[in-house]
Structure formats: C-alpha cells, structure tokens
Amino acid sequence: MPLAKRIIPCLDVDNGRVVKGVQFENIRDAGDPVEVARRYNEQGADEITFLDITASHQERDTTLHTVERMASEVFIPLTVGGGVRTVSDIRNLLNAGADKVSINTAAVFNPEFVGEAADRFGSQCIVVAIDAKRVSGPGEPERWEIFTHGGRKPTGLDAVAWAKKMEDLGAGEILLTSMDQDGVKSGYDLGVTRAISDTLHIPVIASGGVGNLQHLADGVLQGGADAVLAASIFHFGEYSIAEAKAYMAERGIEMRL
C-alpha cells in the first residue's frame, strides 16, 4: 500500500486573481482563486499551492483574506508562498488557514530564516522554493544554479548543494522550479529534479514546464519527484486533474483516484 504521488495545481495569484504567464511574462487571467481551488478540490487535487505574485505589500491583506476564504471551503492541504520574509508573515498565513508556507527569496538572502521557521512552526509546514536554471553547456557535466527575481538574477549557488543545505536547516519539502522550462510546456527539467530528489531525504515537488500529461508522469518516473505541480494545463481546461491522475495511474504510478 504505497504512498500516493501527488498532483498539485498551482495558482499564481496577483491582486486577488489567478494569473498565468509564460516565463513570468504575458499574464493571462484565469479566474477567482477560491472558485479555481474549489474546482480542483472537486476534481481530486491532492493539494493546492497558492503563490502570491503581487508586487506590493499593500495587497498582503487581500492575500490573507483569499487564503482564509479558500481554507474555509477546500479541505485538502494548502501551501501559500510569495514574499514570505519574516516569522510574522508565516504566522499570519498559518493563522489564515495555510497548512504550509513556501519560502523562496528570503532563504537565499538569509538561510538561517529557514532554520528559525522550522524551529518555530515545525518542518512539516516549511517548504523551500528553489528556482534553478541549467548553467552547464552542452557536453559539460550537468550543473544548475539558483536564480532569484523570477529567474533574472543568478546567485552563484549550486542548486543541488543548496537544496541539501535547506534540508539540513529544517525544510520539510522542496518545491523545485526549473526556470528554463517554466511556462514553455516542454516538460520538467528531469536532470535537476532527479539530482535533487536522489540527494535529499525530504519530498521534492517538480514544477515548471508541464505541457501535457506525459510530462507529469516523467516527473515521477524519470525525475524521481514525490509530487508534480502544474498550472496552465489545468487552468485553461486542457486537462482535468482526474484525467491527469488516470493517465499517471495507467503508467504504473500509485495515485489517489
């Protein structure tokens, strides 16, 4: 009776609306977050991830309110990320109804924040989001680096070593987004997914680049991911969560059907 692999639809939320861009640009409106989450819940999503991409701090209250509404209607785990920088950011999100929070940029600038967060709230609710980009050329040994600011700023940090460090500091899970792939629909970067999943003891969520159902299955079968995250293939009705689960189960992956 193995643990099921998870499908996690991701809602990128800007100022109270679900949006989805291609490589972080060309934003398209995809609806009210609570409506969208409720639909995914009914279709059998295993979790929901809510990424607040609102630039301004003034909109933070909108986010908390949306999280609150979502948590009152959707009874599956909810991860919230985007601009999480302080212990009080985490407390506010958990109190609003988030089950886990995702820390991204703040971890890069202050790794100890991850340790502090895990000590305070428990590793089970601390997800570290990593944006990785392949930096090795053709023929060179594969290497990926951490990028910030939506993939624009390199940090010089090796992605695999960084992920390991986050685990050691107390992260309970890694949300790995491959920036080259994000939004371009050619599949996850399976190389970095496999490298990190094999190195770590904690679960790894693959993200970035899903264009079809085979990409989801490949994330698990070839990338070794414990969960697969996707946005646009679900938002715009190309596939339902149920179709995705049936497909993955046919490929021999343990799913909650």
Partner 1 sequence: MSNNVAVIDYGMGNLHSVAKALEHVGALKVEVTSDQATILAADRVVLPGVGAIRDCVSELRQLELDQTVLSLVNELPLLGICVGMQMLFEHSEENQGVDTLGLFPGQVRYFGDQLQEADGSRLKVPHMGWNQVTQTIDHPIWHRIEQDARFYFVHSYYASPEKSGQTAGRCHYGVDFAAAMIRDNVFATQFHPEKSHTNGLQLLRNFLAWDGRW
According to DSSP H, which parts of the chain are helical? 33-43, 60-73, 87-96, 105-109, 112-121, 159-169, 190-199, 213-221, 232-235, 241-250
Q: How far is CA 173 from CA 61, 129, 135, 249, in A?
A: 26, 9, 24, 23
Q: Are 71 and 50 in contact (CB under 8 A)?
A: no
Residue 17's CB is within 10 A of a number of other CB atoms, namely 18
Q: Which is nearer to partner 1, 19 or 96 (CB)?
A: 96
When asked if residue 223 is in the footprint of partner 1 (CB under 8 A), the reply is no
Phi-psi region of 224 (alpha: psi -120 to 50; beta: other; left: phi over 0): left
Report the nearest approach of partner 1 to the CB of residue 108 (Å).
Answer: 24
Q: Which single residue is written with the structure tokens 């428990």?
A: 122
Among 91, 134, 143, 164, binds partner 1 (CB under 8 A): 91
CA 95 to chain centre: 21
When asked if residue 176 is in the footprint of partner 1 (CB under 8 A), the reply is no
Report the nearest approach of partner 1 to the CB of residue 114 (Å).
Answer: 15
When asked if residue 242 is in the footprint of partner 1 (CB under 8 A), the reply is no
When asked if residue 95 is in the footprint of partner 1 (CB under 8 A), the reply is yes
Closest among 102, 19, 90, 98 to 53, alpha carbons compared: 19
DSSP 221-256: HTT--SEEEESHHHHTSSS-HHHHHHHHHHTT----
Segment interacting with partner 1 (CB under 8 A) among 57-65, 138-146, 196-204, 230-238: 196-204
Q: Build a one-symbol-per-residue string for 26-45: x at contacts with partner 1 by CB under 8 A, - elsewhere.
A: ---------------x----
* Known catalytic residue at 12: yes
Closest among 238, 177, 144, 201 to 12, alpha carbons compared: 177
* Known catalytic residue at 29: no
When asked if residue 50 is in the footprint of partner 1 (CB under 8 A), the reply is no
Q: Are 228 and 210 in contact (CB under 8 A)?
A: yes
When asked if residue 172 is in the footprint of partner 1 (CB under 8 A), the reply is yes
Q: Which is nearer to partner 1, 152 or 256 (CB)?
A: 256
Catalytic position from the list 14, 46, 52, 131: 131
Segment 111 to 150, residues that bind partner 1, using CB under 8 A? 119, 121-125
Report the nearest approach of partner 1 to the CB of residue 202 (Å).
Answer: 6
Segment interacting with partner 1 (CB under 8 A) among 49-57, 108-116, 147-155, 200-208: 200-208
Using CB under 8 A, list all residues that contact partner 1.
Answer: 1-6, 41, 46, 68, 71-73, 75-77, 91, 94-99, 119, 121-125, 172-173, 200-204, 226-227, 256
Write out the catalytic residue numbers: 12, 131
